[in-house]
Structure 1
């Protein structure tokens, strides 16, 4: 029999708001107040949740004390560098004195005046003074760099602590709707558990799970026919908008998204249903019931088993491209 034939891929359906995301806190503490309620419309950067936590404030105070100490060590009257400077001044005087004594003794020794022991002693004192002065200057430069680094690190820690002490209010990242609040005032909040669920208030996405054997036949903009359990008997049209390339190893499926052409007036997150993604359509093609097919490519006729070439198919019928005509009488192999 000739008929119009549509081939499609079946999928389960879950409705979700577009841009849906889980709201997390970046500090731990106690939930002081939910500033919004479920089903409220919110704007981007609107305050959602207030959290109490004294730890960041204490950390900020400690960081300020560390910064003040680092600055005092670097710039203050009791600075470490001042002590090293005093040592350098004393070492410089000793070096000059030992230098004078050494060169005086050297001149005498060259004139064969004095003893070798006196000459060697003056030379050793001169060399020791020179090395001591060089080491103190090196210590000064090294200590200065370390103290400068300590000041910079303490300043960064203090600024970070100040930022953390201000992060007590969780804000919305988008214009949307509050779909869920997971914590009540007085409950403990951490950075690992979501506090709320926010998503688009008007745009909804059709989430579909497509078997891996069918995913290669799916492409963007293909038509989708949707039925929802909440709208029994009604069908809605959509189009494939996104194909996620990573397979879910647990159920061997790929996630595919579609958008409604004309969505229902009322939609809620989590509504379920079914969908058929249209792969191909043909008009007035020769079809037979799929149950008449033997070994995937043969049919039983008055002349016995005849091999046929097949094409499109749906749940009930399959296209016959060649091998028989519309006038061929077929037998049900059952």
Structure 2
């Protein structure tokens, strides 16, 4: 019985020893196995520098229609949404004051005509003639002013966008109507100061309006503001869209793409970019002489399935595109096709 127990114990110890030996060999094999990676050589190439900005569509001009003096509104000839040409009669105010001013002007004109004849033959003095002429000029100015404030015309071609009163109301301060010129429309974007020398009046830009999806509209830089905002270090740029079909309306949300020229940049596949956990830093493994180095990179825009690199990788470098999960800085690797 004792012999059987000793034999069993010997066999058990032999099995345990064999397993330990195999485990040690496996560990050594794993340590000696180089991570297998695929690499891709990257080069500089011309990359368009496209920048996107957001803005809200604005009317080219906005006019508030109202008299300069209080009065009763007699008639309003348009409604919100009506298209109006320049010079169209929009509002008729009460005419009583105008009629009174007209009557007074006619009387003064008749009186001055008689006095002018007397003055020519020496019947009145120069001072009397001057006083009467002044009264006539004042009355004529007052009449013309009342006339402009009695019949209100549109100073621009556009669309009626607001109405605050009805016929019979007393005008008391708020505009009676608002007319907006929407052919063309404009956008105001704010561009980083380091682009100041690259933006010029007349530049073509592309515009997309959210409500119309991917449809593109042509715009032009119509104004580059001459100063930089010291708080934001940006400058304002005005974009004009002809909008001949009046499809784009003020208040719509738009995206403007501006081409700032091209630069020689390295493009790296998106699979080669490693994001550092807990920070916004990006890295790339660069392969050289059988080893990889962990290079911090500054990325630019995403172009298709690649990243534009501003710095961190040299022209002609080999970057690791697969097998990244097992890598550490400075370790040896095995290349696979």
Taking structure 2 as the reference length, what is the TM-score of the superposition?
0.58
Alignment partner of 1:228 is 2:195? no
1:44 equivalent among 86, 102, 110: 86
1:314 equivalent among 285, 297, 301: 301
Greater shift after overlay, 273-282 or 243-252?
243-252
Kept in 2, the 8 Å contact 1:13–1:206? The answer is: no
Secondary structure in 2 aligned to 1:314?
strand
1:21 equivalent among 63, 66, 69: 63
2:151 equivalent among 155, 169, 185: 169
- Give the aligned partner of residue 32 of structure 1: 74
Alpha-carbon separation, structure 2, partners of 1:59 and 1:229? 54
Secondary structure in 1 aligned to 2:47?
strand
Give 1:27 shift.
4.2
Kept in 2, the 8 Å contact 1:10–1:274? The answer is: yes
Kept in 1, the 8 Å contact 2:60–2:186? The answer is: no
Alignment partner of 1:209 is 2:251? no
Higher relative strand content: 2
CA deviation profile, 1:80-122 (whole Å, cap 9, x unmatched): x98xxxxxxxxxxxxxxxxxxxxxxxxxxxxxxxxxxxxxxxx
Q: Residues 194 and 149 from structure 1, CA distance in 2 versus in 1: closer, same or farther, beyond 3 angstroms?
A: same
Alpha-carbon separation, structure 1, partners of 2:174 and 2:256? 35
- Give the aligned partner of residue 168 of structure 2: 186
Unaligned runs of 5+ in 1: 83-142
1:144 equivalent among 99, 108, 125: 125
Unaligned runs of 5+ in 2: 1-41, 329-337
Alpha-carbon separation, structure 2, partners of 1:170 and 1:271? 30
Alpha-carbon separation, structure 2, partners of 1:272 and 1:264? 18
> Structure with the greater relative contact order (CA < 8 A, sep ≥ 6): 1 or 2?
1
Higher relative helix content: 1
Kept in 2, the 8 Å contact 1:67–1:154? The answer is: no
Alpha-carbon separation, structure 1, partners of 2:107 and 2:168? 32
Kept in 1, the 8 Å contact 2:205–2:219? The answer is: yes
Alpha-carbon separation, structure 1, partners of 2:103 and 2:77? 28
- Give the aligned partner of residue 245 of structure 1: 225
CA deviation profile, 1:212-243 (whole Å, cap 9, x unmatched): 52661322343433332312x41414232311
Taking structure 1 as the reference length, what is the TM-score of the superposition?
0.58
Superposed, 1:1-334 pairs within 5 Å as 1=42, 5-52=47-94, 54-59=96-101, 144-167=125-148, 168-189=150-171, 193=175, 195-200=177-182, 203-211=183-191, 213=193, 216=196, 217-231=198-212, 233-245=213-225, 254-259=236-241, 266-281=247-262, 285-288=265-268, 301=286, 313-314=300-301, 317-320=307-310, 324-329=314-319
Give 1:35 shift.
0.6
CA deviation profile, 1:14-39 (whole Å, cap 9, x unmatched): 23444543334344312222111222
Alpha-carbon separation, structure 2, partners of 1:273 and 1:173? 28
Kept in 1, the 8 Å contact 2:112–2:132? The answer is: yes
- Give the aligned partner of residue 92 of structure 1: none
Q: Residues 62 and 179 from structure 1, CA distance in 2 versus in 1: closer, same or farther, beyond 3 angstroms?
A: same
